């Protein structure tokens, strides 16, 4: 029996599985390179075919319990605005949080709202004990999202990532289930 990626909702968002029909929207959101500039895995020139290939990996990762990726959709407009994932899931241990939001939707609290939902999903439904995240030091807005959802800064990995020929410092954040549970009950 096929496992289904669940829908998770807040007052204004739906986190849902990506569909192949979302590839055009993903391509449009990632086309200008602004998001790719401050993310680890998105290439500078992002094609519709890349979006299709990426979407096609989600179900198998979910079924293998190694990752789960959600489309972030504005509920009222049914508009895809970004993606949020838990990847590198290690059963009964930890997972890495990652996300991106289309540039026109920056600064509206969407990412923080989606990240709160997926943090709860990771702790309650997947059962991990730790969720960690990282961002480039030159992208402090991403760090603000992590702080807003209660993650704690764990350190800086200096010149840790080579991105487009430049060495980048990476900020590390983490959240532990027991701390999250205490703050959310």
Nearest alpha-carbon partner for 125 in 38, 3, 40 = 3
Cβ contact 119:106 at 8 Å: no
**Domain ranges (residues) in the chain:** 8-183
SS3 content of the chain, % helix, strand, coil (to 5): 35, 35, 30
Gap between the Cα atoms of 121 and 155, Å rounded: 25
For 35-90, what is each residue's pLDDT tens digit?
A: 988 888 888 888 999 999 999 999 999 999 999 999 999 999 999 999 999 999 99
Helix (H, G, I), strand (E, B) or coil at 20: helix
8-183 carries CATH number 1.20.1600.10: no
pTM as predicted: 0.94
Indicate the DSSP class of residue 74: E
For 103-156, what is each residue's pLDDT tens digit?
A: 999 999 999 999 999 999 999 999 999 999 999 999 999 999 999 999 999 999
Q: Would you say residue 183 has pLDDT above 90?
A: no
Q: pLDDT confidence of 16, banded at 50, 70, 90?
A: very high
């Amino acid at each position: 029996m096929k496992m289904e990626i669940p829908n998770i909702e807040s007052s204004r968002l739906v986190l849902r599985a990506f569909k192949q029909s979302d590839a055009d929207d993903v391509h449009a959101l990632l086309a200008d390179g602004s998001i790719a500039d401050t993310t680890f895995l998105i290439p500078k020139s992002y094609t519709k075919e890349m979006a299709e290939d990426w979407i096609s990996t989600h179900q198998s990762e979910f079924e293998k319990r190694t990752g789960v990726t959600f489309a972030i959709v504005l509920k009222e407009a049914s508009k895809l605005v970004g993606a949020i994932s838990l990847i590198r899931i290690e059963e009964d241990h930890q997972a890495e949080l990652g996300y991106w939001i289309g540039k026109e939707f920056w600064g509206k609290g969407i990412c923080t709202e989606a990240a709160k939902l997926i943090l709860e999903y990771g702790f309650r439904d997947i059962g991990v004990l730790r969720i960690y995240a990282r961002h480039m030091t030159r992208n402090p807005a991403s760090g603000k999202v992590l702080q807003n959802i209660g993650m704690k800064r764990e350190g800086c990995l200096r010149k840790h990532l080579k991105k487009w020929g430049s060495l980048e410092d990476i900020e590390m954040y983490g959240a532990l289930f027991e701390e999250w549970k205490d703050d959310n009950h």
